Amino acid sequence: MMTMEDQIWLYFTADPKRSDAEKVDVVIVELKKRQAGAKAITDLIDELVRRLNLLENNCKKLNRAWYFGIEDIPNEIIGNLRSKGFNPLFSKEKCFYSSIPLFALNNNYSSTPSHFCDAYLLDYDAVINDAESRMLVFKSILINAFKKASDFHFT
């Protein structure tokens, strides 16, 4: 049986190393091993904050960041997520959101963050079941549009 290792992808809107590049946005997607447990979620949040601060201090052209962490979220960790500022979002399963402040290295003692990262933590089941729901809604919209279009006759 093949097991999945942790994986992380970073998508930039432009090459931040180019001198002519304007501000860049980044989307970070991280897949964790399934059923890693409650401690893995806590570690994931700590890793995320470290990575975001590294990004903030090494990518001077950063405009905005989004993070999507996908991992099994056990029920016993939900209270911890809430206390760390993650709020539940509408989902068929477990999905949480938090706006994480980023502080530049030269700004460590300032109370004003340089940027914010929109961070989403999603359970694997949320990714799958929410996608299925969206596809059903999209399919219904298409079917209704086709039915209406077939009633229209060109003259």
Is 1 within the bounds of a domain? no
pLDDT recorded at residue 4:
57
pLDDT recorded at residue 106:
66
Which of 7-11, 85-89, 145-149 is most confident?
A: 85-89
Q: What is the pLDDT of residues 54-75, one digit of tens each?
A: 888 788 788 888 898 888 888 8
Is 2 within the bounds of a domain? no
Q: What is the pLDDT of residues 88-139, one digit of tens each?
A: 887 777 889 999 888 776 655 667 777 888 999 888 888 777 777 777 776 7
- The lowest-confidence range among 11-15, 74-78, 80-84, 125-129 is 125-129
Is 27 within the bounds of a domain? yes
- pTM for the complete prediction? 0.73
SS (H, E, C) the chain: CCCCCCEEEEEECCCCCCCCCCCEEEEEEEECCCCCCHHHHHHHHHHHHHHHHHHHHHCCCEEEEEEEEECCCCHHHHHHHHHCCCEECCCCCCEEEEEEEECCHHHCCCCCCCEEEEEEEECHHHHHHHHHHHHHHHHHHHHHHHHHHHHCCCC
Structurally, the chain folds into a number of domains equal to 1
The parent domain of residue 133 ranges over 7-151
The stretch 23-41 carries a mean pLDDT of 78
Is 104 within the bounds of a domain? yes
